[in-house]
Structure 1
Amino acid sequence: MFKCLLLALASLCAAAHAVHAADAPGAPEAPRPASRAEAVAIIADMRRIVAPQGVERSEMVRIGGIAQAITVRGADRRNPILLMLHGGPGYVAMPTSWYFQRGWEDYFTVVQWDQRGAGKTYAANDPALVAPTMTRARMLADAEEMVAWLRQEFGKRRIFVMGHSWGSSLGIELARRHPDWLHAYIGMGQITDSPESERRGWRFALDAARADGNAQAVRELEALAPYAAPGAPVPLKDLYLQRKWLGHYGGAVYNRRGFDAESAAVRLAPEYSDAELRTLWEAGDFSSSHLLAQTIAMDFSGITRFDCPIVIFNGRHDYNVSASATAEWYARVRAPSKALVWFEHSAHEMFNEEPGKMLVSLVRYALPHAERAGDVAP
């Protein structure tokens, strides 16, 4: 017995030595992906849906007269549909969904959709032909068509719609117009009074710059005054300058300076070809040039009565879309049921910033609405 123990200890020591040797200077490098293709293949295989009732689709659907890109992923197609309306305009969520979404798919059939003029949808269509259709009315009509298509395709009477930032401006209208289509509406970075949100974001950035002694930021932000004055449109160049410093001081992503980490993660998106990635940011600029000025002028603060449940996920440090303005609006909302969930360590990207809490919150605050309707897998 003693001899066996000595042999086992010798084997463990040899293994430990091998591990340390691999880390030593001059040791051969550990294997690693040699290309984007290898990296995304690893991610795709790790997140592959293998459950017998699962669904894993990536396709083009004809919506609003053009081909529009979606992914549909879930461990059991009998679970409720959750459609995510991305922000921006043009800031698609599909290419980072490999990071934040996998847990959702055990409870929901999750649909990512690259809207008109964005992401893979932009790459699949002639921008010159799409440009005249880049209106808010057309975008809302697209959202209505997409919800109708999902309900028919999957045999669902109701689905969940979750709108983020720009997408929340579409989502709130869907909730108001079509409550009978929804188990609940979920808003993240919910747009309410956009001009007031802009003013609060500017004030946050200016106060942070002054506290930091950042003379350049103070000078540039003060030059914007009166920023987002009532009745005056905000020039996009002023908006971008405000956003530069707002992001620098963590008002977009908490304790980070902007979206650099998320932008880098986009390169690992299994759903995107190299060609589609090359046009991704061009698509964002295209969408913003047509829709952003109108977006930051919108005021939904008077829409407070809904006939479907309302769930709001609010980043405590969100100044990109003012969390405080959203909370004030929420206090006046009347709905069959409502819930406000604070993400204490998030700004505008709670699904990336606190993915664990995001999953728990979806299961706790949204899923019961589908359970009560019998729209979950046995």
Structure 2
Amino acid sequence: MLKRFVLKPLLYLSLLVLLLLICGLAYRSYTQIQVERSTAITTAGGIESLETVEVRGDTQWIYVRGHDRSNPVLLYLHGGPGMTELPIARSFGLELEKHFTVVHWDQRGSGKSRTRDLSASELTIDSYVQDVLALTNYLRERFGQDKIFLVGHSWGSLLGVLSVRDHPQLYHAYVGVGQIANIADNERLSLDYVRDVARTRGNSTAQRELAAVDPLQYGEDIAQLQVQRKWLYLFGGGFRGIGILELVWLYVASPEYSLLDLRRLLTGSNALPTAMWSEVMAVDLVRDANEFALPVYFLGVDTTTTRRRSWPGTIWGL
């Protein structure tokens, strides 16, 4: 009797969890279809292609979108390392696709491109810069253009600056978004910010957790970085105009990403910063990249990036 009393609620709970899972997957599939339809490129000369390319011996994924394939090519370098932005290509920058052929790219070991563990020789800034240059030359040849535009976000802005510094002849211009200059200073200021907010608000939990954080140790202990970023987002220093849950939903509902791809994204976004942190912390672009032989632009702190609405109830106009 007691056994039946215990097992029956467990059975109901299991069935409820299973039902919620099925409903969640069904809603995800429905949303993916709606997103794909509402953002499809239908112009006669347009291009919309998710494909693999060989980049210095490694199979990597790119997603090309544009209303006219004769438009200038724009290569977008995502942040991280490992935090691909290909899944949210349909949510941000759709206006760009009217004027450029935009190439979104899952870098080596990131997202869809993470099909194996990387060797130590691949886990260097220079290796990633060489990938940028190789992909640049591939795009120049494919689209018959002498130069392309380069946009770098966060970690991608580090790769972008180094690429255009050494090879300005390949690019019309460079645009930095969330531009990196000095990583050590950046992390120190970011940690100071969350500690100050925690102290001002009297948040004892945040103060206790942040007291144990040391940016120099992020490479050996990724959990410290995760603690700092958690409070950064909770205190409003991470995103403006979009919540973290809404951003997560954009990734989950991406037509270009399977559940396996999402798992690869999570794996890469944890593994790559850990492996490369020591080298990244030594970066000082103020010292090493302060002159350029091409136009360079930076999106400032007050610049807004437009997006399509995405949260349930307002998903892409639904």
- Is this a same-fold pair by TM over 0.5? yes
Partner of 1:376: none
Verify the 8 A CA contact 1:166 1:295 in the aligned structure 2.
Answer: no
Q: How does 1:144-293 map to 2 (within 5 A)?
A: 144-224=133-213, 227-228=214-215, 235=219, 236-254=222-240, 259-293=244-278
User: Residue 280 of structure 2 is aligned with which of 288, 295, 308?
Assistant: 295
Is the alpha carbon distance of 1:287 and 1:151 closer, same or farther for their aligned partners in structure 2, counting shifts above 3 Å?
same
The unaligned stretches of length 5 or more in structure 2 are 1-23, 309-318
Question: Is 1:60 aligned with 2:56?
Answer: no
**In structure 2, C-alpha distance between the alignment counterparts of 1:169 and 1:251, rounded to whole Å:** 21
Is the alpha carbon distance of 1:33 and 1:121 closer, same or farther for their aligned partners in structure 2, counting shifts above 3 Å?
closer
Structure 1 or 2, whichever has the larger Rg, is 1
Q: How does 1:1-378 map to 2 (within 5 A)?
A: 34-122=26-114, 125-127=115-117, 133-224=122-213, 227-228=214-215, 235=219, 236-254=222-240, 259-302=244-287, 303-315=289-301, 342-343=302-303, 351=305, 354-355=306-307
**In structure 2, C-alpha distance between the alignment counterparts of 1:287 and 1:237, rounded to whole Å:** 14
Partner of 1:323: none
**How many Å apart are 1:207 and its aligned residue?**
1.2
Which SS does the other structure have where 2:158 is aligned? Answer: helix
Partner of 1:361: none
The unaligned stretches of length 5 or more in structure 1 are 1-31, 316-341, 344-349, 357-378
**In structure 2, C-alpha distance between the alignment counterparts of 1:234 and 1:70, rounded to whole Å:** 30
Is the alpha carbon distance of 1:55 and 1:193 closer, same or farther for their aligned partners in structure 2, counting shifts above 3 Å?
same
Q: 1:201-243: CA deviations, max 9, x gaps?
A: 111111111111101212332344xx55xxx665544333322
**How many Å apart are 1:131 and its aligned residue?**
6.0
Which SS does the other structure have where 1:191 is aligned? Answer: coil
* Superposition TM-score, scaled by structure 2 size: 0.82
**In structure 2, C-alpha distance between the alignment counterparts of 1:267 and 1:91, rounded to whole Å:** 14
Which SS does the other structure have where 1:210 is aligned? Answer: helix
**How many Å apart are 1:182 and its aligned residue?**
1.0
Which SS does the other structure have where 2:285 is aligned? Answer: coil
Greater relative contact order (CA < 8 Å, ≥ 6 in sequence): 2
Amino acid corresponding to residue 46 of structure 1 in structure 2: S
**How many Å apart are 1:314 and its aligned residue?**
2.4
**How many Å apart are 1:293 and its aligned residue?**
3.8
Partner of 1:370: none
**In structure 1, C-alpha distance between the alignment counterparts of 2:38 and 2:218, rounded to whole Å:** 45
Is the alpha carbon distance of 1:50 and 1:200 closer, same or farther for their aligned partners in structure 2, counting shifts above 3 Å?
same
Verify the 8 A CA contact 2:218 2:274 in the aligned structure 1.
Answer: no
**How many Å apart are 1:133 and its aligned residue?**
2.1
RMSD: 2.2
Verify the 8 A CA contact 2:121 2:127 in the aligned structure 1.
Answer: no
**How many Å apart are 1:68 and its aligned residue?**
0.5
**How many Å apart are 1:181 and its aligned residue?**
1.0
Task: Tell me which stretches of 4 or more aligned residues in structure 1 moved more than 6 Å.
Answer: none
Is the alpha carbon distance of 1:223 and 1:34 closer, same or farther for their aligned partners in structure 2, counting shifts above 3 Å?
closer
**In structure 2, C-alpha distance between the alignment counterparts of 1:266 and 1:94, rounded to whole Å:** 9
**In structure 2, C-alpha distance between the alignment counterparts of 1:287 and 1:37, rounded to whole Å:** 30
Q: 1:57-92: CA deviations, max 9, x gaps?
A: 110000020110001110001111111100011111
Name the % identity: 35
**In structure 1, C-alpha distance between the alignment counterparts of 2:98 and 2:209, rounded to whole Å:** 47
* Superposition TM-score, scaled by structure 1 size: 0.70
